[in-house]
Structure 1
Amino acid sequence: MSDPLSGQDGDPAARVDQLVAQAKEKARRYRAMQAAVGQVSVTESSPDGLVSVTVDSAGNVTDLRITDKVKELSGAQVSAAVLTTLRRAQSRLPERLGEVMAETIGDDPQTMDTIIGNYRAKFPEPEEPAEPEPNVRKIGTVEDEQPPPPPPQPKPRPRPDDGDDDFGQSFMVRE
């Protein structure tokens, strides 16, 4: 095993100074990366231009713009457009952060892969939603509903059979 303090010239003090300088430079680059990542934002617009969403480096919404076209749509259509656009903006964060990190700590691929992997897990590519039917509101259909189960029927109580044919009348009858 090699001794990290033994340098080419054999001067341990010079090697310590070199390691300290490298550590300081690495710390400076990581602070620069942290500052640059803090400035990252991504803006995404819906294909129809109805919605525009901006998210910061943590995926939080910092700006939301909705056009007056929403007056022609149902609430479900508007909320679907907002959520889809938000998820698309968030899913672009790993790519954008990778660019910033490559500029600042590009010589540390393990750290970059870990951070970008965490962002990809947190903000995956959104699935494209099915096209909603325009101006159709589904309330429910008879075919979709199952009738409730019938109420339980009371079980008949067994009667003792003593041989008398009193046809279920009480034997305690006053005459």
Structure 2
Amino acid sequence: MTGAGGGGLGDLMSDPDEAIRRMDEWAAGFARKAERYAAAQEETERLRLTASSPDGTVSVTVGADGVVSDLVFSSRTRTIPPEELARMVLATMRRAQAGITEQVAEVMSEQLGDEDEETRTVLLDSLRGRFPDPEEPQDEDDDTSPEPPAPTPPLSGGAAATPPPSPPPAGGPPPRRPGGVDPEEQDNNPW
């Protein structure tokens, strides 16, 4: 079907110069698009987001990948218990990471405009999932702390029962023997 003026493959076959011109336009458009994506990637890689704890004791800087690139403590850290300081560092890091999605969205908007909306949505949704807003309440049902193991009932004589060893995972290494020495490694053990 090569109807007149349809702009189909038949028209291109009858005018090879037009086919070459269209292919050159397509290639040039693709090259411009690749340049915009490369510029967006370079700008994204340069992003640095910094957050500080409310009292200024901790300052954390992260890159667009969420990795900490700088961590600064004030002299006040000497008076803070280590557990509290650890919580403060993690909370501050999460606040810095929470800004990643917005910053990457701005870069994409500047460099790509409205191009590839689906790609942008997938990327930004992925970032939102990895770096959620720390101020949003978490689901109460999302309790990831493990339950403590049930106590093992004692055997007669007061000794605790030792559960039988679990079978090795499929394709995994065989379980270690109760002495801590694997018979295959025994000859290689210098002690």
Give the TM-score category using the shorter length: 0.5 to 0.7
Equivalent residue pairs, number: 134
Compute the displacement of 1:65 (Å). 0.5
Pair 1:17-2:17 in alignment: no
Q: Secondary structure at the match of 1:65?
A: strand
Q: TM-score, normalised to structure 1's length? A: 0.67
Distance change >3 Å, CA 94–CA 149, structure 1 → 2 = closer
Task: Give the aligned partner of residue 89 of structure 1.
Answer: 96
SS in 2 for 1:43: strand
Pairing partner for 1:122 from 123, 130, 138: 130
TM-score in terms of structure 2 length: 0.61
Query: 1:119-145: CA deviations, max 9, x gaps?
Result: 11111112579xxxxxxxxxxxxxxxx
Please point out which of 43, 54, 57 is paired with 1:47.
54
Show the counterpart of 2:76. 69
* Structure of higher CA gyration radius: 1
Unaligned runs of 5+ in 1: 130-147, 155-175
Measure how far apart 1:108 and its partner are.
Answer: 2.3
C-alpha change, 1:89 and 1:5, in structure 2 (3 Å) is farther
- Is 12-21 or 79-88 further displaced after alignment? 12-21
- Which stretches in structure 2 are left out of the alignment for 5+ residues? 1-5, 138-150, 158-191
Distance change (3 Å), C-alpha of 1:79 and 1:128 = farther
Root mean square deviation of aligned Cα:
2.8
